[in-house]
Structure 1
Amino acid sequence: MSTYKKNESDSDDESTTNDKEKKKGAKILPYFLLIPRLQRLYMSPESDVAIIWHEDSRTKDGFMRHPADSPAWKTIDHTYPNFARELRNVRLRLASDGFNPFRNMNVSHSNDIDVYLQPLIEELKELWETGVETYDASIKNTFNMRASLLWIINAFPVYTNLSGWSTKGKYACPKKMVCDSVLGTLLNLDGKTKDHLKSRRDLQEMKIRAELHPAPLPNGKVYMPPTYFTMDKKEKELFCEILMGVKVPDGYSANISRCVQQKPPKLSGLKSHDKHFDAASASSYFHLATEAKQGGPVHYRWMYPTERYLGTLKSYVRHKAKPKGSIAKVYLAEECLAFCSLYLSSDVERIHNKKSRNYDDGGKEDVLPIFSMPGRPIGATVATRLDLETLDKAHSYVLFNCKNICKFYVIRIENFVSSSWSACTVTHLDKIGDNIITDDLRHLANGPCEFVKTYKGFIVNGYRFHIKVVEKKRKTQNSGVILEALTRSFSSTRNNNTVTGDVTYYGVIKEIIELQYSVENKIVLFLCDWISNGSRKKVDENGFTLLNFVGVKPDKEPYILASQAQQVFYVKDRVHKGWKVIIKTTPRDSYDMDEQTNVDVKMLLQSATSTGPDKDVDVDIEMVRRDLEGTVVENTTLQIETLDENFAEEAS
């Protein structure tokens, strides 16, 4: 088939074609049929089980864990019971995004998505209206497979291509608009700030926050008092300096520092997903929380996996004259390999059972709990020898955190462990026939080998940790750690009675070591600098907790079990030298589940009705900065009213 457009002057006889006439390339769509690909899902018993997992194996405890728990899924089942009755029917999502195969955004690339979607639409109609006969390998029989398109997933600008919806100006992405407005207002950027004369007059009309109302001046201009979030030039530069220097944990967010300009203070070049992180707190203004409840857990429907995969497809281009052919060829090869891998043993790592980035192996079974801790090292391994004092500290911490030997010793005075738990104790118990002693306890009693393994990184509890020294050349920070501990202490200097209380320790990982008690029994410890209370910890007027690690001395008990660690990161306080603000994090693959019991689908699908502006609850907040001068602006009443009228006419 010719890859060039046929002109009206061209004849069917190729010998008469004018070679000097410039030919135009024809648009070719390499389309991979959807129906055969869905049918292949049932050719492997393994994938067939996964298709009906949502009904047979899903946890149904009233929490929203899966799209099947969402009102959107339940509404389809309720409206079309015949479709829902066949558990093997498929729910689809259509994901699309802007695409440039050359990794060069300055080169235009045609994207006639409405034309390209035509064959897909025809298949979707067939799958929904009539279905197709499909062979099920698990029961060795055929059934009529149908499919529904339940979600359309795309970045906001794609609305222009898919729905003809304008995404420019006042119709731009809500999160993008909120982020731009917040940053523009904080930095007082021309054309982007929302703290202007019109917004102040809105306050005046609503009769709230009288101290911020505009005041007319004798010269005809208007004075606007400075708000509590108004910043002077130095404060704006400091704000940008903090963003430029911040380091966050792996996977926490994008590298915002590349978008920051300090002089003049400005943020530019933020991608859509960067603004999603910045504007996360503003999502409630646009009912995005309600949308999440309707559609189910967000991570099944967001654009990030699609955007990353499109980046992978772009890397397949080797022949720039025929990018689609390059992508199609490699994609087909990968699809064939993925399908063939279904027939490999489950012990073989493949695309269908590949572990997540921060998977920590889950720990061991049928061993002493202290030896069953999860986690896996990352990076190079270095063997080293510990001195006896250091080894004893590490071993003592392990003993104190092993519940299985609490009956043998409970003495712990002033950070010193006095224990009768040793190889001699085990030998004595063996002689009297105490059958509580197991091989694991014997290994623990004999103590660890003086030669240990050290690592630069370790994955545990869904977090990726690194030692402090690794971060010097990186844009991420993974050495911050927090430990919630139950501690006993004396109630006072005159009272020898002990009291128990929760103490939070904040630390920085300096070393990661692995103690070896036998060939199979190993324990990983983090050696950290610690701060709990005292002069190195304070809470500022805004409620943030700050720490000062400058010159901190090594703790007498520097170790914790790797399995006890949770992650934090620290942001430098540019005003108070040496101090850092604590920011807590959650594991990369952890999601907060909101309980959904007795869901009324119809009520949940309805948006909340506005009852007008809420009363100002921040009555104790000083709305005006007394240490800054306000702004004098021109009185633009008539111009603003004209703009409002034009906007209303355009919207109608």
Structure 2
Amino acid sequence: MPDGYASHIKQCVVLDQCKITGLKTHDCHVIFQKLLPIALRKLLPENVLNPLLQLSKFFSDLCSKELKDEDLVKLSETIPETLCQLEMIFPPAFFDIMMHLPIHLAEEARLGGPVLYRWMYPIERYLRTLKGYVRNKAHPEGSIAEGYILEECMTFCSRFVDGMPTKISQSERHEDGRADQPPTGITIMSTVDYSKKGFALEQLSLAEVNDMRHFILTNCGDTAPWAREHLEELKRNNSRNPDKQHRQEFVGWFERRITELHKDGKVHKDGKVSNLIYALAKGPDHLARVYNRTVLNGYFFRNSDIEQDLSTQNSGVVVKGDEATGNIDYHGVIKKIIFLDFPPDKEVVLFQCDWFDAPPANRTQSRGYKNDKYGIIDLRITAHRFKEDPYILGLQAQQVFYVRDVKNPDWASVIKMNPHNLFALSVLNGVGLDEAAEADEGGDADVLDVVNAEIIVPEITVPEEITSWCRNDDEGSSVDASVIKSIKPVEFEDVHSESDDDIDDDDAYINDGHVAPLGQEELDDDNGFFL
């Protein structure tokens, strides 16, 4: 699993005893929402599997960071049917008060908001912090009070200390430096962070640079007018294969065209050529910075080479397809994380990946790609495709991780991840993001497409004889309601109970945390308690 996503569940598994021990509550959520559907879909029959998948999807949707009112109404309507289906599978002893609780959870989310602001995980973690303040076990409350006051004082004083690293000023474990940067004018460019270390300089060949430049120019929205202009020019000249010729000649044509416009100060039909467009046309430095890890788009990425001996997995990526590709997602693993430097002090992040198989448009299967009826994607991870097009922009990458099939190790299931500390807001204060961006004088509003790991569960079909409220297997009997009125109520004698004032102070109960054993005479008095 990705770094920091869950505990090391592998160490909690005891194969000899066939059980899992030492799990945290969050680990149970991860197993139930992510791993259990993948494991059960090939083991259980469909009438048993569907209610379990429905329950897993219920908690997955309920615990998401973004909740919609219409979705919560739908969850409230479907969860009773799911529990009724579970009652047909599990024994009655399984259904205690906790199995009844999910009926009220969706309505509570409508009233109280997202679950992550109300559940007990932050409280439990903070209780662990308070327990760490205890130094004198004879007086734990006093130790916690002194530790809390000391922490507050140090936090207050650290806000007035400049030039010294403190607990407040230190960065997070995986911090995305690009998140707080102002817009640079070109969406794919960002300002170079010279404080970032841990890279190796690599001299790129001319062919590699041309391939990278072509990918950057054809995937940048600011250069789209010139790409269309070059294609139209090739078609007017009756080129035999305009797409192939465009791939070979567009980089050089774009550099000559932008240099001419920038030198003479001419204005293109789509606007004046800026200095950043001119820097993009001249190309990057051939000496690239290569990292083995980076934080981007709210994800922590690593290349696959350094994960050979690690138990975590952060190299899986997915790129969403467009209408031309049939909206098929492309999955792969990162081989290199490349930072290309452009003047003045700008950079573009590229990922060099090994891609797995993807089906043609309007199809859900191929030799190395399977998409079952539950929406779970299986990939043949030993077969690589699209070797002539290995690059993607870092801004296009979203993270996935692969769960290897036990019976067939060449195949793995895909589980999509959501970005950390980022939210997809479809409505902002009653105004759509497009309207908010137009009303904002400062510029654009960033819209992030958050990946939701949705599991498609077929609708539960209940037989007609089960949904009927009338029994036809036994003849009913009639009861006269007037008989109930003739029953005399049972009168009970008043039992005098001692008040607190009648109890002697010397024998008063002291709550010292210990339970006193009952004497034999106290046990014998209990015989008169029952009627």
Q: Same fold (TM over 0.5)?
A: yes
> Contact 1:364/1:373 (CA < 8 Å) preserved in 2?
no
243, 247, 250: which one pairs with 1:416?
Answer: 247
Determine whether 1:579 maps to 2:411.
yes
CA distance in 2, matches of 1:368, 1:341: 38
Counterpart code for 1:297: P
For the 8 Å contact 2:133–2:144, the answer to whether it is kept is yes
Cross-structure match for 1:351: 168
Q: What is the CA-CA distance between 1:574 and the residue it aligns to?
A: 1.5
- Specify the SS of the correspondent of 1:382: strand
| CA shift digits 1:457-494 (9 cap, x unpaired) | 22222211111123223332111111112264xxxxxx
**Aligned partner of residue 452 in structure 1, secondary structure:** strand
**Mapping of 1:80-95 within 5 angstroms?**
none
| 2:16 pairs with 1:263 | yes
Question: Where do residues 116-195 of structure 1 align in structure 2 (5 Å cutoff)?
Answer: none
Where does 1:420-569 land on structure 2 (aligned, <5 Å)?
A: 420-435=252-267, 436-486=272-322, 488=324, 501-531=326-356, 532-533=358-359, 534-540=366-372, 543-552=375-384, 555-569=387-401
The alignment partner of 1:567 has SS state of strand
Q: Which residue of structure 2 aligns with residue 406 of structure 1?
A: 224
> Using a 3 Å threshold, how does the CA distance of structure 1 residues 392 and 452 change in structure 2: closer, same or farther?
same
The code of the aligned residue for 1:361 comes to R
Aligned length: 346
Larger mean CA deviation between 449-458 and 314-323 belongs to 314-323
Q: Which amino acid aligns with 1:463?
A: Y
2:153 is aligned, of 318, 328, 336, to: 336
Q: Distance in 2 between matches of 1:543 and 1:402?
A: 31
Q: 3-state SS of the aligned residue for 2:320? A: strand
SS at structure 1 position matched to 2:305: helix
| TM-score, scaled to structure 2 | 0.56
Structure 2 matches for 1:181-220, cutoff 5 A? none
Aligned amino acid, residue 269 of structure 1: G
1: CA distance between counterparts of 2:139 and 2:196? 40
Correspondence for 2:461: 617
Residue identity over aligned pairs, in percent, reads 35
CA contact (8 A) 2:258 2:278 kept: yes
Q: Matches of 1:326 and 1:463 in 2, distance apart?
A: 39
Distance change in 2, residues 1:355/1:298 (3 Å): farther
Q: Which amino acid aligns with 2:293?
A: G
1:294 maps to 111
Give 3-state SS (helix, strand or coil) of 2:198's partner.
strand
Alignment of 1:68-83 (within 5 A): none
Write the distance in 2 (CA, Å) between the matches of 1:261 and 1:253: 18
Question: Against the structure 1 CA distance between its residues 425 and 541, is the aligned structure 2 distance closer, same or farther, given a 3 Å change threshold?
Answer: closer
Residue ranges of structure 2 left out of the alignment (5+ in a row):
34-55, 60-78, 80-99, 232-241, 360-365, 431-458, 465-531
Q: 254-263 or 409-418: which moved more?
A: 409-418
Specify whether residues 424 and 275 from structure 1 end up closer, same or farther in structure 2 by C-alpha distance, changes over 3 A only: closer
Q: CA-to-partner distance for each residue in 1:222-271, whole Å, 9 max, x for gaps?
A: xxxxxxxxxxxxxxxxxxxxxxxxxx223433332222222342223333
TM-score, scaled relative to structure 1: 0.47
Q: Secondary structure at the match of 1:586?
A: coil
The residue that corresponds to 2:473 in the other structure is none
Alignment CA distance shift 1:591-1:364 (3 Å):
closer
Q: Residue type of the partner of 2:342?
A: Y
Q: Paired residue for 2:420? A: 588
Residue aligning to 2:234: none
d(CA) in 2 for partners of 1:267 and 1:275?
A: 10
CA separation of 1:486/1:318 partners in 2, compared to 1, >3 Å: closer, same or farther? same
Do the aligned partners of residues 402 and 540 (structure 1) sit closer, same or farther apart at CA in structure 2, a change above 3 Å counting?
closer
Q: 1:447 to 1:262 in 2, by over 3 A?
A: same
Q: Identify the structure with the greater helix proportion.
A: 2
2:86 paired residue number: none
Distance 1:595 1:424 in 2: 44
Tell me, which stretches of 5 or more residues in structure 1 are unaligned? 1-247, 489-499, 599-614, 621-652
Contact conserved, 1:314 with 1:327, CA < 8 A, in 2?
A: yes
**3-state SS in 2 of match to 1:407:** helix
Alignment-derived partner of residue 638 in structure 1: none
**Amino acid aligned to 1:503:** I
* 194, 200, 207: which one aligns with 1:389: 207
Deviation track 1:440-460 (CA, whole Å, cap 9, x = no partner) reads 112111111111111122222
CA deviation after TM superposition for structure 1 residue 618, in Å: 5.6
State how far apart, in whole Å, the 1-side matches of 2:23 and 2:150 are: 35
**Cα distance in 2 for residues equivalent to 1:503 and 1:374:** 33
Q: Distance in 1 between matches of 2:5 and 2:289?
A: 29
Instruction: Give the letter aligned to residue 250 of structure 1.
Output: D
> What letter corresponds to residue 413 of structure 2 in structure 1?
V
